[in-house]
């Protein structure tokens, strides 16, 4: 074969030429002896770290808190207050270090125990709630068997009734027991210099219990009651029995009545000439209406949140309760009651009362306890372990001022409000510290 330039075609020479051209490139090809998965040695210049190699904080544990609250009907007002207090607490906790809380609220109307029990089951099974709040006795009793079976903590925000007190170790309360009210009444008497103390209470089991508790609490303080009586307002000898009590010359009388009955007794005592100290264990408005001007100067011991008055440090109304432009809200130097009241007022447009304050404080208390646990709370019997942590004896700040503790019976110990009737209205005087600091 002859090429165009006249030279003869030599295949062997062409192969030699191709080999000579390809040999210099052989070093750039993968070596067959290294294998296809060989990783080249890293270059001397270090590559910049990838985002995944940056140090990360461990994920925050998240716990679900359930609530069965009356959201309709006559009881909706305090169900709404509890919900708002809980929502505000959850929002504040989310801005802090430590576990996050997720709030799930279901309707828990007292007249529908079967529906309440079904809603509780949903919170436990579907939402895996760590604790469930309730607002009154009937829903609480409806869910308690399930709570005991599943070992779920129930946080009750209603009146501590005898059937609930001690019903289960998995039941705790956001309100004090009647015994704290009695203990604080004896502390009031000692503080006022009263040595001759009497007690008048309503008829029936409730009145008898008040008398017995006060008698024992006063005895533990080294005193003895100069007179005690249970009274029925329609009794024909009501005035005679009141006169008999006054003949013992008490320096102070504790009144264990509710509603209009209290007003009737106060008016009768003043009409009989008694002008010394009266301490009521209830301050319902209807009592003051019945008593009229005769209630003037009477003191009232009550579980009440006295919202501090608005100040220039309050956040703008209608917001979320934070303080934009004023720095870190956690650095707010005001007392906790003032911070809570102003944040609640800004978010909801009204002063908080005890149902909101109690629920708010309880959620913060749960978060504080959970943040101190060495490991996240998981597995069965979480409710038992949470209760033990709540009752470890550590004091926690109270939104009422001072500290709050849990007793073995599941009731709280916190300061109670002392009010004085002035101009026909109960006026907040101050908080009265609990006498026993949370231990029976």
CATH (domain of 259): 3.40.50.2300
The answer on 168 and 91 residing in a single domain is yes
Q: Are residues 428 and 291 in the same domain?
A: yes
For the stretch 415-428, pLDDT in tens is 999 999 999 999 99
Using pLDDT thresholds of 50, 70 and 90, give the confidence band for residue 98: confident
In a domain, residue 55? The reply is no
Q: For residue 278, name the pLDDT band (cuts at 50, 70, 90).
A: very high
The mean pLDDT of 408-417, rounded to a whole number, is 93
First to last CA, the chain: 119
Flag whether pLDDT at 18 surpasses 70.
Answer: no
Q: What is the per-residue pLDDT for 58?
A: 64
Inside any domain, residue 49 = no
Kindly state whether residue 22 falls inside one of the protein's structural domains. Answer: no
With a cut of 60, say whether residue 414 has pLDDT above it.
yes
Query: How is residue 439 written in tokens?
Result: 């231990």
* pLDDT exceeds 90 at position 208: yes
Domain that holds residue 351: 62-176+308-414
Among 106-110, 121-125, 374-378, which is the least confidently predicted range?
Answer: 374-378
- 237 in a domain, yes or no? yes
> Which residue reads 């005679």 in tokens?
240
In a shared domain, residues 276 and 152: no
For residues 331 and 47, give the distance between their C-alpha atoms in angstroms, rounded to a whole number: 42
| Residue 266 domain flag | yes
Q: Contact at 8 Å (CB) between 166 and 150?
A: no
Query: What torsion do the CA atoms of 396, 397, 403, 408 make, to the nearest 10 degrees?
Result: -30
Q: Do 382 and 343 reside in the same domain of the chain?
A: yes
Rounded Cα distance between 95 and 200, Å, is 50
Task: Give residue 212's pLDDT.
Answer: 95
Q: Are residues 165 and 192 in the same domain?
A: no
Q: Is 250 found in the same domain as 346?
A: no
294 and 314, same domain (yes or no): no
pLDDT for 330 beyond 50:
yes
CA distances from 250 to 66, 118, 244, 294 (A): 49, 54, 11, 18
Residues 90 and 147 in one domain: yes
Q: Residue 309: its pLDDT value, please?
A: 84
Task: Give the residue-averaged pLDDT of 342-347.
Answer: 96
pTM: 0.79
Residue 212 lies in a domain: yes
The verdict on 125 and 89 lying in the same domain is yes
Give the tens place of pLDDT for each residue, 231-249.
999 999 999 999 999 999 9
Domains: count for the chain: 2
Q: Are residues 170 and 200 in the same domain?
A: no
Distance of alpha carbon 343 from alpha carbon 330, whole angstroms: 12
Is residue 142 in some structural domain? yes
Q: pLDDT, tens digit, for every residue of 143-199?
A: 999 999 999 999 999 999 889 998 999 999 999 988 899 999 999 999 999 999 999
More confident residue, 217 or 315: 217
Tell me, yes or no, whether 199 lies in a domain: yes
Q: Give the residue from 286, 279, 285 showing the smallest Cα distance to 300.
A: 279
| Whether residue 298 sits in one domain with residue 423 | yes
Q: Are residues 172 and 315 in the same domain?
A: yes
């Amino acid at each position: 074969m002859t090429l165009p330039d006249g030279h003869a075609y030599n295949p062997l020479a062409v192969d030699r030429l191709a080999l000579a051209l390809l040999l210099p490139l052989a070093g750039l090809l993968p070596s067959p002896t290294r294998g296809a998965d060989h990783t080249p040695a890293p270059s001397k210049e270090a590559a910049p770290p990838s985002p995944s190699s940056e140090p990360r904080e461990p994920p925050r544990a998240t716990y679900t808190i359930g609530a069965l609250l009356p959201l309709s009907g006559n009881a909706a007002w305090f169900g709404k207050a509890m919900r708002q207090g809980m929502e505000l607490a959850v929002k504040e906790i989310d801005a802090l270090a430590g576990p996050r809380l997720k709030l799930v609220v279901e309707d828990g109307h007292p007249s529908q125990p079967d529906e309440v029990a079904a809603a509780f089951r949903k919170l436990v099974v579907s939402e895996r709630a760590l604790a469930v709040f309730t607002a009154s006795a009937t829903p609480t009793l409806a869910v308690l068997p399930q709570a005991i079976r599943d070992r779920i903590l129930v946080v009750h925000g209603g009146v501590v009734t005898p059937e609930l007190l001690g019903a289960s170790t998995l039941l705790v309360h956001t309100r004090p027991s009647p015994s704290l009210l009695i203990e604080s009444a004896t502390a009031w008497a000692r503080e006022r210099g009263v040595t001759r103390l009497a007690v008048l209470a309503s008829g029936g089991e409730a009145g008898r219990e008040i008398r017995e508790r006060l008698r024992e609490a006063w005895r533990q303080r080294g005193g003895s009651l100069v007179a005690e009586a249970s009274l029925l307002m329609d009794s024909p000898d009501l005035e005679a029995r009141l006169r008999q009590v006054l003949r013992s010359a008490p320096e102070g009388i504790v009144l264990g009545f509710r509603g209009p009955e209290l007003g009737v007794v106060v008016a009768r005592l003043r009409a009989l000439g008694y002008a010394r100290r009266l301490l009521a264990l209830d301050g319902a408005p209807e009592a003051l209406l019945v008593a009229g001007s005769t209630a003037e100067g009477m003191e009232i011991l009550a579980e009440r949140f006295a919202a501090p008055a608005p100040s220039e440090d309050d956040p703008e109304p209608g917001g979320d309760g934070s303080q934009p432009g004023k720095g870190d809200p956690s650095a707010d130097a005001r007392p906790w009651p003032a911070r809570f009241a102003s944040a609640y007022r800004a978010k909801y447009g009204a002063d908080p009362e005890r149902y909101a304050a109690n629920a708010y404080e309880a959620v913060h208390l749960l978060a504080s306890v959970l943040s101190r646990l060495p490991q996240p709370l998981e597995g069965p019997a979480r409710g038992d372990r949470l209760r033990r942590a709540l009752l470890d004896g550590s004091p926690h700040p109270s939104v009422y001022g001072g500290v709050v503790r849990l007793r073995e019976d599941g009731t709280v110990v916190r300061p109670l409000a002392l009010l004085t009737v002035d101009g026909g209205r109960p006026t907040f005087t101050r908080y009265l510290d609990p006498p026993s600091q949370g231990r029976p």
